[in-house]
Amino acid sequence: MMRTMISLFVALTLWAIPVLAQDGGPLRIEITEGVIEPMPFAVPDFVADTAEAREVSRDLSRLVAADLGGTGLFREIPQDAHISRITSFQSPVQYADWRAVNAQALLTGAVSVDGSGRLVVQFRIHDVFAGQELGEGLQFVGTRAGWRRIAHKVADEVYSRITGEGGYFDSRVVFVAESGPKDQRAKRLAIMDYDGANVQYLTDSSSLVLAPRFSPTGDRVLYTSYETGFPRIYVLDVASVGRRTLPTLDGTMSFAPRFGPDGRMVVYSLTQGGNTDLYSMDIGNGQSTRLTSAPSIETAPSYSPDGRRIVFESDRSGTPQLYIMPSQGGEARRISFGQGRYGTPVWSPRGDLVAFTKQSGGRFHIGVMRTDGSEERLLTASFLDEGPTWAPNGRVIMFTRETQGAQGEARLYSVDISGRNLKQVETRGGASDPSWGPLQN
């Protein structure tokens, strides 16, 4: 309604333009068609005043540029095209020089080492064409070993100031690291930075592990292990690598766990007597509540960000489809109606979208739809894509892509929710089942 009124108003305004113009009012035009392209930005090396700082400053500024360029929203202007050099962080920027190379955003920074040997990184973001700073300068202090995190934090800040959305660079991903041939693949849990750096292994490969899921604060991981021969759910503390089993009934199989937004409730699937249903558990006291009791298979539950609803997969209609129900159980509403089979729904951290895996026409897709099932959009297509997980800002999805054939291997990919910027995440070997953690503090 509002929009209609606005359009009407604008239409009337435009209609009246000759009149207004002759009355000396401003000329009015409406721009409705723009372009969508990466914004060109420049990151000259951060200024360093000592040799020690210089060691880090280049790597650090390169990593910031890589973070930003990797989003597909920005395009770095190569340093050899720069006309102007930044030699002092404090002196004013020659905007004309940066305008000349068509840099729309400019990041300048300085790196120094303080008395206690810690890195001090200061930076400013400039809107080149407006000829002014974008917000205030900022400073991060951290350990030298933690320079990558400082760089990610700088990039997050730049990203959010320019786009208006939260960043996601200073975040980690837990996943299943795979090695060995397909028929006897060894799997173990691993954790890495969002860009594939700093891999640490959380378990050994003695037993099959599946589907790790970060807690909302990123300090714990839920996963399913076949250690006992049956799938059981474990919760693992990331810092200490200590773990424990979630208490479930003997003789049952439990899997597909996922934390609620409070980090206390866990929703999971439990198979008993050949029927699979959804349960939730308060991991503080181990109390489980049954949420569904249909003869069909209900699995892959995921909480909404407010914790009030759960989206899950069920084959109650004959084929696997997506449903939403209240988080205490109750009537479920089907939201997927397209051709094919839908699975592994994950609620976006913004709450507006659900990402899912879809199998249709012999191919697998990662897609998104609104929570009422409308505006379904498939973002990828391949032999096997599955298991989407959201970046903390709800703008990027990471998933597993497995290639065909005996030599086929699973790798992690990421894609923007617009379907652009599909690319592989660098991992040393095979990798699957990613779960993207929150931004770190």
Q: Does residue 208 belong to the site contacting other proteins (CB under 8 A)?
A: no
Residues 373-402 that bind other proteins (CB under 8 A): 377-383, 395, 401
Q: Does residue 101 belong to the site contacting other proteins (CB under 8 A)?
A: no
Q: Does residue 28 belong to the site contacting other proteins (CB under 8 A)?
A: yes
Give phi and psi for 200, each to the nearest 5: -130, 145
Q: Does residue 220 belong to the site contacting other proteins (CB under 8 A)?
A: no
Q: Does residue 148 belong to the site contacting other proteins (CB under 8 A)?
A: yes
Helix, strand, or coil (residue 34): coil
Q: Does residue 96 belong to the site contacting other proteins (CB under 8 A)?
A: no
Among 213, 232, 258, 365, binds other proteins (CB under 8 A): 365
Q: How far is the CB of 366 from other proteins (least distance, A)?
A: 8
* Of 148 and 213, CB closest to other proteins: 148
| Close Cβ partners of 380 (under 8 Å, ≥ 6 residues apart) | 365, 366, 399, 401, 413, 415, 419, 422
Q: How far is the CB of 261 from other proteins (least distance, A)?
A: 21
Q: Which helix (H) or strand (E) holds 60?
A: helix 51-69
Please say whether the beta carbons of 409 and 178 come within 8 A: yes
**Rg (Cα) of the chain, in Å, rounded?**
25
* Of 143 and 293, CB closest to other proteins: 143
* Other CB atoms within 10 A of residue 192 CB: 22
Q: Does residue 36 belong to the site contacting other proteins (CB under 8 A)?
A: yes
Q: Does residue 118 belong to the site contacting other proteins (CB under 8 A)?
A: yes
Look at residues 342, 343, 333 and name the one whose alpha carbon lies nearest to residue 371: 333
Q: Does residue 99 belong to the site contacting other proteins (CB under 8 A)?
A: yes
| Close Cβ partners of 55 (under 8 Å, ≥ 6 residues apart) | none
Q: Does residue 255 belong to the site contacting other proteins (CB under 8 A)?
A: no
* Of 34 and 295, CB closest to other proteins: 34
Q: Does residue 341 belong to the site contacting other proteins (CB under 8 A)?
A: no
* Of 164 and 274, CB closest to other proteins: 164
* Of 179 and 252, CB closest to other proteins: 179
Q: Does residue 232 belong to the site contacting other proteins (CB under 8 A)?
A: no
* Of 193 and 315, CB closest to other proteins: 193
Distance in angstroms (rounded) separating the CA atoms of residues 43 and 82: 9
Give phi and psi for 178, each to the nearest 5: -120, 145
What angle (nearest 5°) sits at the alpha carbon of residue 199, between those of residues 424 and 221? 95
Distance in angstroms (rounded) separating the CA atoms of residues 150 and 70: 17
Among 335, 411, 414, 438, binds other proteins (CB under 8 A): 411
* Of 135 and 263, CB closest to other proteins: 135
Among 4, 80, 87, 183, binds other proteins (CB under 8 A): 183
Residues 415-434 that bind other proteins (CB under 8 A): 415, 418-420, 422, 424, 426, 428-429
Tokens of 258: 């996922």
Q: Does residue 81 belong to the site contacting other proteins (CB under 8 A)?
A: no
Q: Does residue 199 belong to the site contacting other proteins (CB under 8 A)?
A: yes
Q: How far is the CB of 309 from other proteins (least distance, A)?
A: 21
Please say whether the beta carbons of 234 and 246 come within 8 A: yes
Q: How far is the CB of 66 from other proteins (least distance, A)?
A: 7
* Of 89 and 255, CB closest to other proteins: 89
270 by Cβ neighbours in 10 Å (0-12 / 13-18 / 19+) ranks as buried
Q: Does residue 83 belong to the site contacting other proteins (CB under 8 A)?
A: no
| Close Cβ partners of 335 (under 8 Å, ≥ 6 residues apart) | 311, 322, 323, 324, 354, 369, 371, 372, 373
Distance in angstroms (rounded) separating the CA atoms of residues 299 and 320: 10
Q: Does residue 123 belong to the site contacting other proteins (CB under 8 A)?
A: yes
Q: Does residue 250 belong to the site contacting other proteins (CB under 8 A)?
A: no
